[in-house]
Homo-oligomer: A and B are copies of this chain.
Amino acid sequence: MSVTEAAPRASERAYRALRDEIVRWELAPGTVLAEVELAARLGMSRTPVREALARLVSDGLAVAVGGRGLAVAPMDLDQVRDVYEVRQALETHAARLAARRGDPGVFAALADELAATTTSADADPGHVAYYDLVARLDAAVDAAAGNPYLAAALAPVRTHLARIRRAAQHDPARLAAAAVEHRTIAAAIAAGDADLAAHATHVHLHHSLQHAVANVARTTQEPPA
């Protein structure tokens, strides 16, 4: 009955574990990814680890270093800008499609939730509830777009974004503004206004990128405090 399939395959577990560790900066950019070490740490053989590493490379989360050996992909401002460019191209399009094809009720409900949610650090230190809500909006957009190729192209971009987000500081002012932007997007989709949904997404990504660039600049190697 679980929504996400169990899929207890070792290679899948390895992929998710490594991806999450990279996103959480537990594996910092530049960290070498040695197969034997990872296999030992994850309690499996090299074979599924190799498969997981291949997926990380295709996601752009791991890069070949020196022709031999892999490392966690570095993070610099150019890379952040590039990721946001692709994200803008795909998400504005997805927002358009969702506005045309989505169920208005779903997005109206999400807009209401976004209006009611709090972004204060006191109530929710990690902002898990807020980010979960945003993730649900993303998922609803993907589902409404109904395009598996779009979702597949967006998935690695979203993973990169999650890593970038950890480097940027979650200051309350930005979070409150982002909540309003997300609410605007959800409302536009609910209203079936494709242009507005696309433009609101563009605006949101612009502000998000500005904030990320300003904050990532000083923390390209070490995780946030």
Contacts and interface: CB of A to CB of B under 8 A. Distances in A.
Interface stretch (A31-39, A147-155, A183-191): A147-155
Identical subunits present: 2
B157 A149 contact: yes
Given A51-B51, A54-B54, A58-B58, A153 B85 contact: no
Interface string A136-167: 00000000000111101100010010000000
Interface size class of A (residues with CB under 8 A): 20 to 34
Given A51-B51, A58-B55, A93 B97 contact: no
19 contacts: A51-B54, A54-B54, A82-B147, A82-B150, A83-B149, A85-B147, A85-B149, A85-B150, A86-B93, A86-B147, A86-B149, A86-B153, A88-B93, A89-B89, A89-B90, A89-B92, A89-B150, A149-B160, A153-B157
